[in-house]
Chains A and B, each alone.
Chain A
Amino acid sequence: MENDSKALLEIRGLAKSFPGVKALQGVDFTVRRGEVHALMGENGAGKSTLIKVLTGVYPRDAGIVRLEGTEIRPTSPKSAEALGISTVYQEVNLIPQLSVAENICLGRQPTRLGLIRWGAMARHAEAALARLDLKLDVKQQLSACSIAIQQMVAIARALDVSAKLLILDEPTSSLDENEVEELFKIIRKLRAEGLGIVIVTHFLDQVYAIADRITVLRDGQLVGEYEAAKLPRMDLVTRMIGKELSQLAPKQTTESVEASAPKREPFVEFRQCGRTGSIAPMDLTIGKGEILGLAGLLGSGRTETARLMFGIDKIQTGEMFVDGKSAAFKSPGEAIRAGFAFTPENRKSDGIIPHLSIRENIVLALQARQGVAKAISRKQQDEIVDKFIKVLGISTPGPEQLVMNLSGGNQQKVLLARWLATQPRLLILDEPTRGIDVGAKAEILKLVQSLGKDGVSILFISSELEEVVRYSERVVVLRDRAKVGELTGSQITEEGIMHTIAAPQSK
């Protein structure tokens, strides 16, 4: 790519690694003045790392970052701000307890003789908001505003630092349609003023609604930069997921799938189950012993569906049936007693108990279901644990090893063991193969398949379409927090899933 005269930000050959992971390798990225540039990619693509390098949270290992032609090397969010790079995060990073005006001016309040001039500050904040065509009572507490307004206040703050480049990291995740439209109006206005805007979002419709250009990353590498108008949806999806249509493996049909698919008795049924701000009401059935795949891009509502089913979030609309009987779980504990099990997507924060041993982690759920009084004897514990260490091939010097010291793959196996020990009837697997090595991945997938054969129902959530296709009997496809399709039998191909994801909104 030659030097673009309109280029505001130029990144060439950016590299960043963490111990064991090459997060970014030789990535080029260019943002021009007056354009909205979408940064796309699935988990592990390197979007977050790129943004964090750009805003000075991480130092870069190699590569050139130029802003308006001069090389920059921000060392903190503050120094990035001073250079003209401002970021607004999804989880609005402001102080909810303070007023709108303060949040816009914090750290830069107008003062006289060291004392803050509240009146001037309010006027300043009003002016900053006026630039976004926003009129608010700036004296009200930020927490009293809707998330959308808070987001806009964050943008106002970012612009107030005389931003040249505005980075919006998943700004629309918590907004409803009208609010998104409001936000986009503001983004278009800023684009017209000549700002460069980088937007990270998982909503395909929104990308096409707002972005001029799209840069796709995958596994820390640049896939390409495209003009949004000239990139068909299908191409975008394939580039993000990393499969060209021509190289897709032909669908592997196994007789058992074909034969048994229609005959299954339903175990769990969603009838128009949904939750505001989480997932739109949907129907979903998992048969006994069925492996149901849940496919969709990042942020499409996969995890939200799992949380709803497992009783972490309450179902607000519709009704859930288990074994034909209505069930409304108020806590995961109730779901567990109904025979449910759930390995969460975020192993570290929601799954493992890091400072406890493998043994304790494995018996935890079984013990919780049995209650405090009925302690599992040490002998039984050792038997259970030894069995699972062997069956699952958990590589560890011994069962008393702390879980935090295991590799990701082995941690995941420990979590699986925790649930298999409870002999679950439904296993919800949220990204069970994320971030683990190839060997462990294959073992876990083999296990999933054999569990299905043993009559355990499985809700299989994965961003690896190949896995979903290979192991699922049926696939429910989600997009933008709603169910958009259901594939069975020979429809289950990577191409089929991608078409369903990419299909233009039917509404």
Chain B
Amino acid sequence: MSTAATTTPAPSGRFQKREIRWWSSLLWPVAGLALLLIFNAFFTPNFFHLEVRDGRLYGVLVDILNHGSKVMLLALGMALVIATAGVDLSVGAVMAIAGAVAAQLINKAGVPFPVVIGATLGVAVLAGCWNGLLVGLFKVQPIVATLILMVAGRGVAQLITDGQIITFDDARLTYIGNGSFVGLPFPVWLSMGMLAVTVVLTRKTAVGLFIESVGDNQTASTYSGIRAGQVKFLVYAFSGLCAGLAGLVAASNIKCADSNHAGLFLELDAILAVVIGGTSLTGGRFFLVGSIVGALFIQTLTTTMYMRNVSADVAPVPKALAILIVCVLQSPTARKKMTGFFRRRNAS
């Protein structure tokens, strides 16, 4: 109402005054990752050991990249979704659906390989469009909208595979998850390729700008002529595509489609990776490289514990602590309280 009421206390100086370039946001996730790697350099034998066998690189670091690729793929789509102040809980289920479609089609005689891949990714994109429709058009809250597919998706996957675990041994399909290319596992190339594609798609076109502006201030974006609903639709569709690719990798890894376990809880890892990467759950700026680093951080954490003979079952504990630390670092309230900057804003 009055100017006085809308005037907020000045920003807390140094922290916000700084220009934010994309690499400066990498500071925290990279520091976390580096800390983990340094720890391993000293305490985990053979962690940095690499060797070349049959023209292919082997070692723990390669494994981290390889195993982390699924979450990296998911995190790319999730980053865009979260940037619009949304969330996609269904990616794990969509992975299962994608795996099921691929396994069923590859075992059918006479279906050309490109059709298999195309159909798989098409179905995944369709699933994403469904989410996008609910969020963008019907304005259902993202958590709720994507919960539907999260619950029903695994059922759909089983419906496709008729409840069976479908195995396959098509060399081309198994290559996606197990092959290697110029010394590195194919999934690593795939996720790096998707990173490049996503960066180009968002930063070389106006898509990234629209996503960030819708997530940061939807009203102002609408007033500037951006169709917020369409932008949201698009990011969920893209998240579906990423989930489809991750689903292909997951199925190909184990040479079968396991609808019950494929991608189980990976949506949470993907969300975590994005948040560690510096993207705020309230929307706005997104950081693709940061999300990739976040995914690698999670995978390194898991691998570290595995190598130190910590049971895989206990692994969630440090993950939880990571979430809480990131939460505290991101929470403006917590920051304010910690820096003693406590002045509650109650302006209308």
Contacts and interface: CB of A to CB of B under 8 A. Distances in A.
Q: Are A and B in contact, CB atoms below 8 Å, in the complex?
A: yes
Interface of A: 16, 18-21, 23-24, 43-49, 52, 57-58, 220, 310, 312, 331-333, 336-337, 342, 344, 346, 348-357, 360, 363-365, 367-376, 397-398, 400-402, 404-405, 418, 434-435
Contact of B1 (A24, A47, A357, A372): A47
Nearest 3 CB-CB pairings of A with B: A23-B4, A368-B225, A44-B3
Given A48-B1, A356-B213, A331 B19 contact: no
Contacts of B9: 18-19
B197 interface: no
Contacts of B206: 367-368, 370-372, 374-376
Contacts of B216: 353-356
B18 to A, nearest CB: 9
Contacts of B209: 356, 360, 363-364, 367
24 contacts: A21-B7, A23-B4, A23-B5, A43-B1, A44-B2, A46-B2, A220-B4, A336-B224, A344-B223, A348-B6, A349-B217, A349-B220, A351-B223, A353-B220, A356-B209, A360-B209, A360-B212, A364-B213, A364-B226, A367-B206, A369-B225, A375-B206, A376-B206, A435-B7
A404 B2 contact: no
Interface string B312-348: 0000000000000000000000000000000000101
A370 B345 CA distance: 39
A354 to B, nearest CB: 6
A43 B3 contact: yes
A402 B1 CA distance: 25
Contacts of B220: 344, 349-353
B222 interface: yes
Nearest to B285: A355
Contacts of A337: 225
B10 interface: yes
B19 A402 contact: yes
A19 B19 contact: no
B180 interface: no
Given A355-B216, A404-B16, A23 B204 contact: no
A333 B225 contact: yes
A231 to B, nearest CB: 22
B226 A434 contact: no
A360 B21 CA distance: 13
Contacts of A16: 4
Interface residues of B, number: 38
A48 B5 contact: yes
B16 A364 contact: no
A48 B4 contact: yes
Main secondary structure of the interface of B (DSSP, over half): loop
Nearest to A369: B225
Contacts of B348: 48
Interface in B8-38: 9-11, 16-17, 19-21
Contacts of A353: 212-213, 216-217, 220-221
Contact of A19 (B6, B7, B204, B222): B7
Given A21-B4, A355-B284, A435-B3, 19 more contacts: A18-B9, A19-B10, A21-B3, A23-B5, A43-B2, A44-B2, A48-B5, A48-B348, A49-B2, A346-B6, A350-B219, A350-B223, A351-B220, A353-B212, A353-B217, A354-B217, A368-B206, A375-B206, A402-B16
Interface in B140-171: none
Given A332-B224, A367-B206, A375-B205, A18 B7 contact: yes
Interface of B: 1-7, 9-11, 16-17, 19-21, 204-207, 209-210, 212-213, 216-217, 219-227, 284-285, 346, 348
Contacts of B213: 353, 356, 360, 364
A372 B207 contact: yes
A357 B7 CA distance: 21
B66 to A, nearest CB: 34
Nearest to A344: B223
Nearest to B231: A372
Contact of A20 (B5, B7, B222): B7
A275 to B, nearest CB: 18
B224 A364 contact: yes
B348 to A, nearest CB: 7
Contact of A48 (B2, B16, B217, B223): B2
Nearest to A367: B206
Given A58-B346, A355-B284, A372 B2 contact: no
B52 to A, nearest CB: 40
A333 B6 contact: no
Contacts of B212: 353, 355-356, 360
Contact of B19 (A57, A336, A401, A435): A401
A156 B9 CA distance: 35
Given A57-B346, A356-B212, A372-B205, A333 B3 contact: no
B205 A405 contact: no
A386 B292 CA distance: 33
A169 B220 CA distance: 27
A150 B323 CA distance: 43
B4 A372 contact: no
A398 B216 CA distance: 21
A220 B342 CA distance: 25
A397 B225 CA distance: 28
Contacts of B1: 43, 47-48
Contacts of B10: 19-20
A371 B20 CA distance: 26
A49 B207 CA distance: 41
A357 B19 CA distance: 9
A84 to B, nearest CB: 21
B3 A434 contact: yes
Given A364-B209, A375-B204, A376-B206, A18 B224 contact: no
Which of B6, B16, B227, B346 counts the most A-chain CB atoms under 10 A from its CB?
B6
A27 B238 CA distance: 58
B236 to A, nearest CB: 16
A394 to B, nearest CB: 15
B226 A373 contact: no
A44 B6 CA distance: 10
Contacts of A52: 5, 346
A360 B221 CA distance: 12
B228 to A, nearest CB: 10
Contacts of B224: 332, 336, 364-365, 368, 418
Nearest to A220: B4
B210 A400 contact: no
A492 B9 CA distance: 39
Nearest to B283: A355
A379 B348 CA distance: 41
B227 A331 contact: yes
B343 to A, nearest CB: 9
A456 B125 CA distance: 45
B238 to A, nearest CB: 13
